[in-house]
Structure 1
Amino acid sequence: MGGGRLPIINGRRVIQALMRTGFVVDRIVGSHHVLVYPGDPARTVTVPVHAGRDLKPGTLRAIIRQTGLTVDEFSELL
């Protein structure tokens, strides 16, 4: 995975960035949005969306890893 620096962002911005790559919101369970990539059910990502709170670096890194993107590729989507 790329060694780029992680941006400090909230869950809503993560969802917007992932939707640009083709992910779609499948369902919302409480404050967690479950996104899937059409045609590849193995690429399922859960993003916590808590108002006014940024994602912790470990959580964001795990989300990026699950999407199959690098940190640099993800940062370009923002």
Structure 2
Amino acid sequence: MKSISGKIFCKLLHLHGWQLQRIRGSHHIYTHPSRSEILTVPVHGNQDLKIGTLSKLLKDAGLTEHDF
């Protein structure tokens, strides 16, 4: 799996209808109008997300690796 940064993942979420609700420190909290999940994305500059974190966020967002 290709790793991406938290900033790029936030842009990907925005393109798929997720909305930024708030920022608490370095964590961006997203919600989607038609889903009940809440996603918390760690954004630490341009540092890549860990593979396990990325796969969990993709699964919870209903996205696949092919979406980016």
Check if 1:26 corresponds to 2:58.
Answer: no
TM-score (norm 1): 0.79
Q: How far apart, CA to CA, are the structure 2 residues paired with 1:68 and 1:8?
A: 17
Which structure carries more relative contact order (alpha carbon 8 Å, separation 6+)? 1
Q: Percent identity?
A: 37
Q: Which runs of 5+ in 1 are unaligned?
A: 1-5
Q: Which one has the largest radius of gyration?
A: 1
The amino acid that maps onto 2:22 is: R
Structure 1 runs of 4+ off > 2 angstroms? none
Is the CA contact 2:58–2:64 (under 8 Å) kept in the aligned structure 1? yes
Aligned residues: 68
TM-score (norm 2): 0.89
Q: Which runs of 5+ in 2 are unaligned?
A: none
